[in-house]
Amino acid sequence: MINVTKTYLPDFEKYQNYLKSIWENGWITNNGELVRELEQKLADYFQSKHCVLVSNGTIALQLALKLYNIKGEVITTPYSYVATTNAILWENTTPVFADINPKTGCLDASKIEELITENTQAIMPVHVYGLPCEIEKIEEIAQKHNLKVIYDAAHAFGVTYKNKPVVNYGNLSTLSFHATKLFHTVEGGAIITNNDEDAKQLKLLRAFGHINDDYYGLGINAKMSELHAAMGLTILDDMPKIIEARKKDYHLYKKHLNGLTIQFFEIPENTKYNYSYFPVLFENEQTVLKIKEALYKEGVNARRYFYPSLNTLPQVEYQSCPISEDIAKRVLCLPHFYGNNERIITKITNIIKALL
């Protein structure tokens, strides 16, 4: 089966060398050497002061909400993976959904202000598929209303906006390093911040709220292990090669699908993109289901990322977001991963062409 994504597995010997160093040290978790090395390397890569590694991208969002003591309403996007909304709910805060910009799939900044109430404390936008949000507008609104901006940048590894890593905007950004992501540590995540005090607090929050015998407050276990950090360190050097190969495949897909009655999301201006997904918008849901089934019969598992629109989930109170609801029904992500090739892309696009 050709899946929508395929985990990148780096050179085994290189990973093994890191494992050897772990065995020699006998230190496998609790803020080990490799976690600290990866934090430093990623902070450099993101041109940020701090990168705080955690055990996954969902807990990264939860720690961000905890850090700012968010208790009220969080304005967020209905078009994302369910983890964004779940993190808000899990922290006993209330998601308020602003509809999306159909060109990028990201939260429409012009819809935020009308949703602000005296209970609003934060905005949690998502750079969905790694496509940057309307950063300047969001910043302006947040400043005017004294709101925190927590970017869910789970998909945005390697993306720059106006020559600056996109994770460097907002009060902070979170990333997911799950095995299906562009860059991964098997399971893992990170919080990117330029604020020294926030970084210090986040490190306490991820490790039970204490350092040795000094107890500072509430904390949880969100630590990354040395084995996970080793995977990240092994893969990091390969990132330029991975992004370049995906860029080539992205353009091949676009070439093969040219002229059909389908739409693509737009890469905003001033963006250096990471080509992390290949979502296609079809005319209607029936077409999506027909194509998904036809592909599946031929051994291709395309996925409905992101469906359903999160404002329609059973765990939230329904709020109307017609654009997101429409797009979520019409989207299909085609297989896009390092190691894909023109033969597979031709096979997939020929199946689509035959049905349209």
Ligand X SMILES: Cc1ncc(COP(=O)(O)O)c(C=O)c1O
Give the residue with the Cβ less far from ligand X, 183 or 352.
Answer: 183
The residue among 193, 215, 213 whose CA lies nearest residue 204 is: 215
Q: Which stretch binds ligand X (CB under 6 A): 81-89, 156-164, 260-268, 291-299?
A: 81-89
Give the residue with the Cβ less far from ligand X, 131 or 352.
Answer: 131
Give the residue with the Cβ less far from ligand X, 80 or 271.
Answer: 80
Decide if residue 77 touches ligand X (CB under 6 A): no
Q: Tell me the sheet residues that pair with 74.
A: 95, 122
The identity of residue 231, as a single letter, is: M
Q: Which stretch binds ligand X (CB under 6 A): 18-26, 51-59, 114-122, 198-206?
A: 51-59
Decide if residue 58 touches ligand X (CB under 6 A): yes
3 state DSSP class of 34: helix
Give the residue with the Cβ less far from ligand X, 130 or 257.
Answer: 130
Residues 216-275 that bind ligand X (CB under 6 A): none
Q: Which stretch binds ligand X (CB under 6 A): 21-29, 76-84, 240-248, 249-257?
A: 76-84
Give the residue with the Cβ less far from ligand X, 39 or 152.
Answer: 152
Q: Which stretch binds ligand X (CB under 6 A): 30-38, 53-61, 70-78, 103-111?
A: 53-61
Report the C-alpha gap between 193 and 337 in whole angstroms: 29
C-alpha neighbours within 13 Å on the C-beta side of residue 274:
26
Q: How many CB atoms lie within 10 A of CB 80?
A: 27
Decide if residue 126 touches ligand X (CB under 6 A): yes
**Site size for ligand X (CB under 6 A):** 14
Tell the smallest beta-carbon distance from residue 146 to ligand X (Å): 25
Residue 219: partners with Cβ closer than 8 Å, 6 or more residues away: 204, 205, 206, 207, 208, 209, 210
Q: How many CB atoms lie within 10 A of CB 25?
A: 12
3 state DSSP class of 73: strand
Give the residue with the Cβ less far from ligand X, 154 or 231.
Answer: 154
Report the C-alpha gap between 349 and 104 in whole angstroms: 22
Q: Nearest residue by C-beta to ligand X?
A: 57
Q: Which of 176, 234, 274, 311 binds ligand X (CB under 6 A)?
A: 176
Radius of gyration of the chain (CA): 20
Tell the smallest beta-carbon distance from residue 127 to ligand X (Å): 8
Report the C-alpha gap between 60 and 191 in whole angstroms: 6
Decide if residue 80 touches ligand X (CB under 6 A): yes
Decide if residue 172 touches ligand X (CB under 6 A): no
Tell the smallest beta-carbon distance from residue 274 to ligand X (Å): 14
Sheet of 271-272: strand order equals 164-165, 160-161, 271-272
Tell the smallest beta-carbon distance from residue 80 to ligand X (Å): 5
Residue ranges with strand state E in 177-296: 189-193, 210-211, 214-215, 271-272, 279-281
Give the residue with the Cβ less far from ligand X, 57 or 132.
Answer: 57
Report the C-alpha gap between 97 and 163 in whole angstroms: 30
Give the residue with the Cβ less far from ligand X, 165 or 344.
Answer: 165
Tell the smallest beta-carbon distance from residue 261 to ligand X (Å): 28
Give the residue with the Cβ less far from ligand X, 154 or 243.
Answer: 154
Residues 129-158 that bind ligand X (CB under 6 A): 152, 154-155
Tell the smallest beta-carbon distance from residue 57 to ligand X (Å): 3
Q: What is the DSSP string of 303-351?
A: B-TT-S-GGGSTTS-----HHHHHHHHHEEEPP--TT--HHHHHHHHHH
Residues 287-326 that bind ligand X (CB under 6 A): none
Q: What angle do CA 219, 183, 74 make, to 5 degrees?
A: 45
Binding site for ligand X (CB under 6 A): 56-58, 80-81, 83-84, 126, 152, 154-155, 176, 178, 189
